[in-house]
């Protein structure tokens, strides 16, 4: 294991590499107000981040990542376009994996720019790729926006699309909803009774959720019961999309095939295509770069477009050395009425040193 001093030296060198490419170095605080993170991630964040508190400020979290504070900083008073770099510790609770570190150093590079998102994607990927150039790593890319485009293009009710969209990052729940909307899950006796108006309740209503809210959901369920099932062909389309895992040109050809049947995804496919060209223009060997359509879905993240990771080729035990992606929606959530396209990535200098064999 590299020492802390070695890791910090590596982190400083990486940050200098990003500064040399025009990024402004920033130092977000270690303590983050818990409210923002809880609002974004919900209760799950408590299983991943350390929470502390004082009587005056209430709950605070030791930063579990840099992206949220960097976005907040930029949305508050950033110039446009902007490039940022930072280096420092993040803290993650590891209750299930005692062998994984609960504190490690990340170095990041983030781009906030309105013009030419494909070029920004390629810029971030290429810079991080160059920082790892001498290491036996394998890159993988994906695009969460593809799945979102397919869901948006489904021929079904808006409510069903919203329900699927809400669970894009929870693959099992997404699958269960899809099965249900495709009419493959039997309607439970309790639900059938409710739809037939045969459920009565003599207990008084307690709590904040009102009769009106209950009635509204029953109405929504009754309307939903009249919506025709999502066609088997459309379910297959989603399966075909998530099944794509191939070098980028092949993957793109399959995406083009899909878009013939589902014209709604044409713009999303065009974005993947433009990104491939931008990556090639940056000198990335796209012919061997993997594109996996389901990549990035299982992590509790905010990425809604391009996603990527770099893994050690022969060290499957190591976590990814670098990860990143596009998070336009996050800037909207944190922007208080404003938004800006943004993409970024982080490296883990400790893992880089470990892979380099520095002891």
Going through the chain in order, the beta strands assigned E by DSSP cover: 24-25, 31-33, 51-54, 58-62, 82-91, 103-112, 137-143, 245-247, 290-292, 306-312, 322-326, 342-347
Q: Which is nearer to another protein, 155 or 219 (CB)?
A: 219
Chain residues in the site for another protein (CB under 8 A): 38, 42-44, 46-47, 95-96, 98, 163, 166-167, 170, 172-173, 176, 188, 190-191, 194, 199-201, 203-209, 211, 213-214, 216-218, 221
Cβ 220 to another protein, closest distance in Å? 8
d(CA 45, CA 42): 6
Minimum distance between the CB of residue 162 and another protein, rounded to whole angstroms?
A: 8
Candidates 135, 92, 115, 31; CA nearest to 355 is 135
Least separation in angstroms between CB 54 and another protein: 17
Residue 267: its H or E element:
helix 266-281
Q: Which is nearer to another protein, 12 or 221 (CB)?
A: 221
Find the shortest distance in angstroms from Cβ 211 to another protein: 8
Q: Name the residue nearer to another protein (CB basis): 5 or 200.
A: 200
CA dist., res. 281 & res. 84, Å (int): 23
Count of other CB atoms within 10 angstroms of residue 337: 6
Nearer to another protein, 40 or 358 (CB): 40
Listed residue (342, 356, 358) closest to 120, CA to CA: 342
Q: How far is CA 57 from CA 35, 39, 53, 75, 267, in A?
A: 11, 17, 7, 22, 45
Nearer to another protein (CB atom), residue 35 or residue 267: 35
Our CB check for another protein shows the closer of 44 and 285 to be 44
Shortest separation between residue 260's beta carbon and another protein, angstroms? 32
The least CB distance from residue 316 to another protein, in Å, is 22
CA-wise closest residue to 89 among 72, 78, 104, 69: 104
């Amino acid at each position: 294991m590299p020492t802390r001093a070695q890791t910090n030296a590596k982190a400083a060198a990486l940050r200098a590499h990003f500064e040399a490419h025009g990024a402004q170095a920033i130092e977000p605080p270690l303590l983050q107000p818990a409210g923002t993170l809880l609002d974004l991630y919900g209760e799950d964040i408590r299983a991943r981040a350390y929470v502390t508190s004082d009587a005056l400020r209430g709950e605070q979290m030791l930063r579990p990542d840099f992206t949220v504070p960097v976005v907040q900083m930029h949305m508050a008073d950033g110039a446009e376009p902007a490039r940022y770099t930072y280096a420092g510790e993040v803290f993650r609770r590891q209750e299930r994996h005692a062998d994984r570190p609960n504190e490690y150093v990340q170095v990041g590079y983030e781009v906030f720019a309105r013009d030419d998102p494909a070029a920004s994607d390629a810029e971030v990927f290429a810079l991080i790729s160059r920082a790892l150039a001498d290491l036996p790593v394998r890159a993988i890319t994906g695009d969460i926006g593809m799945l979102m485009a397919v869901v948006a293009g489904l021929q079904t009710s808006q409510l069903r699309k919203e329900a699927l969209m809400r669970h894009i990052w929870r693959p099992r729940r997404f699958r269960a909803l899809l099965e249900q909307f495709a009419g493959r899950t039997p309607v439970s006796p309790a639900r059938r009774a409710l739809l037939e108006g045969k459920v009565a309740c003599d207990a008084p209503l307690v709590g904040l959720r009102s009769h009106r809210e209950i009635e509204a959901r029953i109405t929504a369920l009754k309307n939903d019961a009249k919506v025709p099932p999502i066609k088997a062909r459309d379910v297959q389309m989603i399966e075909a999309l998530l099944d794509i895992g191939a070098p980028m040109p092949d993957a793109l050809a399959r995406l083009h095939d899909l878009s013939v049947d589902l014209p709604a995804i044409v713009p999303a496919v065009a974005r993947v295509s433009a990104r491939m060209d931008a990556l090639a223009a940056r000198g990335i060997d796209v012919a061997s770069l993997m594109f996996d359509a389901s990549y990035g879905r299982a992590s509790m993240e905010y990425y809604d477009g391009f996603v990527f990771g770099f893994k050690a080729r022969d060290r499957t035990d190591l976590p990814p050395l670098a990860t990143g992606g596009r998070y336009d929606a996050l800037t909207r959530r944190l922007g208080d009425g404003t938004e800006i396209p943004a993409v970024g990535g982080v490296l883990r200098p400790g893992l880089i040193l470990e892979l380099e064999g520095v002891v």
